[in-house]
Chains A and B, each alone.
Chain A
Amino acid sequence: MERDAFYKAMSEFIAELAEKRTGEPVTIVIGEDDNLFDLGLVDSFTIIQMIVYLEDLSGVSIDLSEHDLESFYTIHGICDLVQGTDAGSAA
């Protein structure tokens, strides 16, 4: 998936998460380096939804090392991680 398309898909998904939480339509603009946790858009209890979404989107398991965990806080970092995940390594 192209990077721009990935950002768009991620932004829409995060808006959906926020809508589920608030029960109201949410319009958000997320910078690629915005910290999703600091902005309250994702938290430790909704991160599983994002991981599952990314796995379904990319078709591979998201495998984070301890070092990678904080990279997951921004769309930029997530995109790097997912695009760096080799589908062959899932076997």
Chain B
Amino acid sequence: MTLTGDLPAVPRMQSIRDHFAGVGVAQMADAAPEYVRPLRLPLQPRNGRPRVCGPAFPITTEDDMLPCLQALAAAPAGWVLLIHNLTFPSEAIVGDIFTASAEVQGLAGIVVKGAVRDLGDLSDIDVPVFSTEVTFVSARTTDRRAGQVPVPVDLDGVVVNPGEWLFGDPDGFLVVEAERASAVVTAGAMLRKREDGLKAAIRRDRRSVAELTNLSAYLDGTGQLGYVP
């Protein structure tokens, strides 16, 4: 039996996901720096799906599959399984069978600080998979049962609590407290809209960044630096 703590309710899960489809973590971090915590891990997409978001379901293991299987069984649909393998270098703790199950269960993604395998077969599975390592050496141990899943994990100084939102894209990963996820992704969407306007003006009107930001006047001390539509 696995103890599963009371999982927090996840308001507006689909709405947040929909907003994130049109926003990058860069805009979210720019728009709301005090509400995001960057995860500075060398995570790489392993099956051609470079974007993921959802409430985190974090666990730790030490090259042991049992906590991973317990977490896979307990993680709700829409959540992101976040596995921290404390052993380095890691044996592969996620592969194609594990990920196929995650897909059937409706998980939003799998993020591993550690190793995964079966990259050729993962490409056919719709669940985004990220990891810091890859190896064909699979974890074979199933000895150390997790007392409880999920649990807070410490990823190089960034503690991720169950239910906090994880957002990842090709620019990196960040964590947001659950109650601010909607606000942060909305602020990111607004910044993106302004940036899109600036980008469109550059390309449509053949105007440079210097022109659009009033750079000359600012350098001359006769104007403010800012976006001039």
Contacts and interface: CB of A to CB of B under 8 A. Distances in A.
Contacts of A44: 30-31, 187, 190-191, 194-195
Nearest to B22: A66
B11 A52 contact: no
Residue with the highest number of chain B CB atoms closer than 10 Å, among A44, A48, A64, A69? A48
Contact of B35 (A40, A48, A66, A91): A48
Interface in B170-213: 180, 182-184, 186-187, 189-191, 193-195
A48 B183 contact: yes
A62 B183 contact: yes
Nearest to A68: B186
B15 interface: yes
Given A63-B12, A66-B22, A72-B190, A45 B182 contact: no
Contacts of B226: 40
Contacts of B1: none
A45 B186 contact: no
Contacts of A17: none
A47 interface: yes
Contact of A64 (B35, B186, B195): B186
B32 interface: yes
A62 B182 contact: yes
Contact of B182 (A47, A61, A72, A91): A61
A51 interface: yes
B183 to A, nearest CB: 4
Contacts of A40: 226
Given A66-B22, A69-B193, A51 B12 contact: no
B9 interface: yes
Contacts of B9: 91
Given A48-B31, A62-B183, A69 B190 contact: yes
Contacts of B11: 61, 90-91
Interface of B: 9, 11-12, 15, 19, 22, 30-32, 34-35, 180, 182-184, 186-187, 189-191, 193-195, 226
